[in-house]
Chain A
Amino acid sequence: MKTILISLLFGLTAISAMAQMPSVVLEDHKGEAFNTADLLDEKTPMIISFWSTICKPCIRELDAINDVLPDWLDEAEFRVVAVSTDDSRFTTKARSLAEGHGWYDFINLYDTNQEFMRAMSVSVTPQVYVLDGNGKIVYSHTGYTPGSEEELIEVIKGL
């Protein structure tokens, strides 16, 4: 059974190189419904970062991106989408935290029952992706170590 599972896993990894972003409805900063398909405009790449109020490394990563964002935007055009995976109890806290951390230039989305998280197959946070303008995932990274955010801008510049 285990052997079958492992070979299945590797087989699937090989054919899924073209993975994209599924369309899921979640909430924007006001609490209004927001379809992830609306993020795609066929030209602008984006960074998508999954975070939560109790994930310290996630907040560190988004703060680090926020600090260097003005410089990065001089080098390339892209958007940053911060997806809070907090349950309903902490959605308001997540909104307040985004404000109190000055994440004004991010597109802040709230995935209160983790539907987008599941659709993107995220099982642990921090999880960050870079998508090209067509919504194809070109880079992803699990976990955050200070400095690893540098890879994001390099990938975007290479698009």
Chain B
Amino acid sequence: MKTTVKISAVALLLQIAAGLPLSAGNGEKETPKGYLKGSFETNTTWYHKDDRTNATVPEEHWGSNNYLKLDYYRGKFSAGMQLEAYEPVLVGYPVELDKIGLTNLYAAWQDENFGITAGSFYDQFGSGLLFRSWEDRALGLNNALFGARFTYQYKDIVSFKAIWGVPRFGMEYTDTQVKGADLSVAVSNLFNWTDVYLALEGSALDKYESLSVDLEESGAKSNNFGWSGRLNLEASGFFFKGEYVDAGNKYYNNPFIQTSADPAYLIKKGNAQLVELGYNGHGLGLNVTARRLEWMDSKILADNTSTSNMLNYVPAMCTQYTYLLTTLHPYTSRTGDLSGRFVNSGEIGGQVDVFYNFRRGTALGGKRGTKLHANFSTYYTLAHEGSAKAGNLLYRDVSVDVEKQWTRKFKMTLLWSMQAYSPSYGANASLYLSNIAVADLLYKFTSKFSTRLELQYLTTKEDKKDWMAALLELNFAPNWSIYGSDMINHGDTGTHYYNVGVSYARSRTRFSLGYGRYKAGYICSGGVCRPIPAYTGANFTVTTSF
């Protein structure tokens, strides 16, 4: 009900604002015409029973997620909306996505050095550790704020933004209120330094939420304040980024309650440190990330465990794979565990990434060049609360991939990855270790017809033992693509996870139809994952934009 009132208020504002450019343009000879952009997406699946995998089948056998987005631009003015329909929501998506709703609506004015938005908007401060609102349809996440935003840019020196709004959760905007400001000063531009780029940045965020009696009795406050400080430096290809975040107080259910005098919640101080440095130049891209997180789970609603209940962005900082067997056990960052007797206040670790381009004509580059990429990522629990000492290993990955165009027609990519992960999320020292090899071979028969073959093997002594997989794709450029794949757990269950599909793309529209069996696991996007149950069925997607 409340949302409807807010949306009508913006609709009114939108009408008023839309009228402005019209009257302003009356005196001019040529009134610039506005234009409309939009997109539509449907992701629809028909599910059926599959005893082999104990597949989930919803009551109606159907799931369908649909999005219609429209934006109108006229000079400095823009306005838009998004309509979403879950009829019903696909299996594994957050259940609060339900039925049809006009979920996002905004009007905005973008002038040369300032901008105003009223209605729904997305934004982030720094890396997003303190605050991020964004949309990720693969995750079923949309935590847009509904309110107002003001941005100001002074030359190329100062960027400022102030936000106020209520975050979206599911189909509704919540009663939680978020206020914040972010300032960035490009010091190097202020003093006209030409060889160095240096920016100092800072953010502040206040969240207001009316609390339950239990939370209040545990000493929680309705207002929660957090801040962050950042430094960005770049000189001749070298870069350094540092960020410190104080995320304010976080409330966790107290697992140690023995008497009624014990508080229902424990109060923890959220904080994070992030450093990124590296060098890009001469065909070499090198970057190192180090990050420590402690109690960094920022929720929109205090007592809700949905995967879409988040107000900040704490992604897994490691390689995100796309090949089937490399994604069986993706890593998700640990923002603090407090359950049973197991206490882990967060995570510490880092990664190193190296990209190198062996140029044409060199010994390793050959006639057409060779591209090399290697990554090392390692993450641990925190040994003690408040410390930066590493505890048990959570995840480690070493990977190398080489990409080589042998002839005009043949391109080969080889990947090897050694992954170790803790099935107990660091509660004990036991690990599952697996080695994965992938060959990805692309052959162009003609300028329009090509095939791509993936061969993959995973070997491990633990869990479900060895796996293998193959994928064959036939491409008829520029419109058609057909594929078939199979993934077999031959080391243990012998289950085949087969998949076939076809896609057709023309201009701004793409249709795809697939059928297959999917294992229970995780869908990850942007380093954030959501669990999905096993399912078998046919999937139809259409995306179009204009």
Q: State whether A115 touches B353 (Cβ < 8 A).
A: no
Q: State whether A93 touches B510 (Cβ < 8 A).
A: no
Q: State whether A100 touches B373 (Cβ < 8 A).
A: yes
Chain A residues contacting B128 (CB-CB under 8 Å) are 87-88, 113
A134, CB-defined interface residue at 8 Å? no
Within 8 A of A (CB), among B44-92: 67-71, 73, 78, 83
Within 8 A of B (CB), among A83-134: 87-90, 92-93, 95-102, 112-115, 118-124, 127
Option from A13, A15, A23, A120 in Cβ contact (under 8 Å) with B110: A23
Mask, B135-179, CB within 8 Å of A = 1, is 101000000000000000100100100000000000000000000
Chain B residues contacting A87 (CB-CB under 8 Å) are 128, 134, 313, 315, 526-527
Mask, B225-253, CB within 8 Å of A = 1, is 00000001010000101000000000000
Known contacts being A5-B83, A123-B67, A147-B450, is A99 close to B285, with CB within 8 Å?
A: yes
Option from B356, B480, B526, B546 in Cβ contact (under 8 Å) with A89: B526
Complex CA gap A93/B359 in Å reads 20
B478, CB-defined interface residue at 8 Å? yes
Write the nearest CB–CB distance from B356 to chain A, whole angstroms.
6
Within 8 A of A (CB), among B19-51: 33, 35-41
Complex CA gap A114/B315 in Å reads 16
Within 8 A of B (CB), among A11-53: 12-13, 15-16, 18-20, 22-23, 25, 29-33, 53
* Nearest chain A residue, comparing its CB with the CB of B82: A118
Chain A residues contacting B241 (CB-CB under 8 Å) are 31, 92
Complex CA gap A25/B115 in Å reads 11
B475, CB-defined interface residue at 8 Å? yes
Chain B residues contacting A89 (CB-CB under 8 Å) are 127, 313, 315, 317, 526-527
Chain B residues contacting A95 (CB-CB under 8 Å) are 280, 285, 287
Option from B234, B276, B477, B507 in Cβ contact (under 8 Å) with A140: B507
Q: State whether A12 touches B132 (Cβ < 8 A).
A: no
Chain B residues contacting A7 (CB-CB under 8 Å) are none
A56, CB-defined interface residue at 8 Å? yes
* Nearest chain B residue, comparing its CB with the CB of A136: B35
Q: State whether A92 touches B289 (Cβ < 8 A).
A: yes
Chain B residues contacting A92 (CB-CB under 8 Å) are 239, 241, 276, 278, 287, 289, 353
Complex CA gap A63/B197 in Å reads 29
Known contacts being A18-B35, A22-B78, is A12 close to B546, with CB within 8 Å?
A: yes
Q: State whether A18 touches B33 (Cβ < 8 A).
A: yes
* Nearest chain B residue, comparing its CB with the CB of A88: B127
* Nearest chain B residue, comparing its CB with the CB of A52: B526
B509, CB-defined interface residue at 8 Å? yes
B430, CB-defined interface residue at 8 Å? no
A146, CB-defined interface residue at 8 Å? yes
B212, CB-defined interface residue at 8 Å? no
Q: State whether A33 touches B317 (Cβ < 8 A).
A: no
We find that the number of chain A residues with CB closer than 8 angstroms to chain B is 60
B444, CB-defined interface residue at 8 Å? yes
Complex CA gap A123/B65 in Å reads 13
Q: State whether B124 touches A88 (Cβ < 8 A).
A: yes
Chain A residues contacting B199 (CB-CB under 8 Å) are 31
Known contacts being A31-B232, A112-B124, A146-B444, is A97 close to B355, with CB within 8 Å?
A: yes
Option from A32, A101, A122, A145 in Cβ contact (under 8 Å) with B450: A145
A159, CB-defined interface residue at 8 Å? no
The DSSP consensus for interface residues of chain B is strand
Complex CA gap A99/B229 in Å reads 29
Chain B residues contacting A142 (CB-CB under 8 Å) are 505, 507-510, 543, 545
On chain B, which size bracket covers the interface?
Answer: 35 or more
Q: State whether A141 touches B505 (Cβ < 8 A).
A: yes
B258, CB-defined interface residue at 8 Å? no
Write the nearest CB–CB distance from B546 to chain A, whole angstroms.
5
Option from B126, B186, B284 in Cβ contact (under 8 Å) with A100: B284
Chain A residues contacting B71 (CB-CB under 8 Å) are 22, 118-119, 121
Known contacts being A121-B37, A140-B508, is A19 close to B546, with CB within 8 Å?
A: yes
Complex CA gap A60/B234 in Å reads 29
Within 8 A of A (CB), among B364-417: 368-369, 371-373, 405
Complex CA gap A102/B370 in Å reads 10
Q: State whether A143 touches B73 (Cβ < 8 A).
A: no
Q: State whether B124 touches A143 (Cβ < 8 A).
A: no
* Nearest chain A residue, comparing its CB with the CB of B527: A89
Option from B134, B278, B449 in Cβ contact (under 8 Å) with A113: B134
B357, CB-defined interface residue at 8 Å? yes
Write the nearest CB–CB distance from B344 to chain A, whole angstroms.
21
Residue of A5, A33, A97, A143 ringed by the most chain B CB atoms within 10 A? A143
Q: State whether B35 touches A96 (Cβ < 8 A).
A: no
* Nearest chain B residue, comparing its CB with the CB of A60: B442
Chain A residues contacting B285 (CB-CB under 8 Å) are 95-100
Mask, A139-159, CB within 8 Å of B = 1, is 111110111101100000000
Q: State whether B545 touches A143 (Cβ < 8 A).
A: no
B342, CB-defined interface residue at 8 Å? no
Complex CA gap A101/B137 in Å reads 29
Option from A5, A13, A99 in Cβ contact (under 8 Å) with B281: A99
Chain A residues contacting B510 (CB-CB under 8 Å) are 124, 142-143
Q: State whether B40 touches A9 (Cβ < 8 A).
A: yes
Name 7 interchain pairs, CB-CB below 8 A, sorted by A.
A30-B197, A33-B159, A97-B373, A101-B357, A102-B359, A121-B37, A139-B507
Listed in ascending order, the chain A residues whose CB lies under 8 Å from chain B are 1, 5, 9, 12-13, 15-16, 18-20, 22-23, 25, 29-33, 53-54, 56, 60, 67, 87-90, 92-93, 95-102, 112-115, 118-124, 127, 139-143, 145-148, 150-151
Apart from A90-B526, A146-B442, list 12 A-B contacts with CB within 8 A.
A9-B40, A13-B546, A29-B280, A30-B197, A89-B526, A113-B134, A121-B37, A140-B545, A141-B507, A143-B503, A146-B444, A147-B446
Question: Considering the complex of A and B, which 7 residue pairs feature the smallest CB-CB distances, nearest first?
Answer: A100-B355, A96-B285, A148-B478, A147-B477, A99-B285, A143-B505, A145-B475
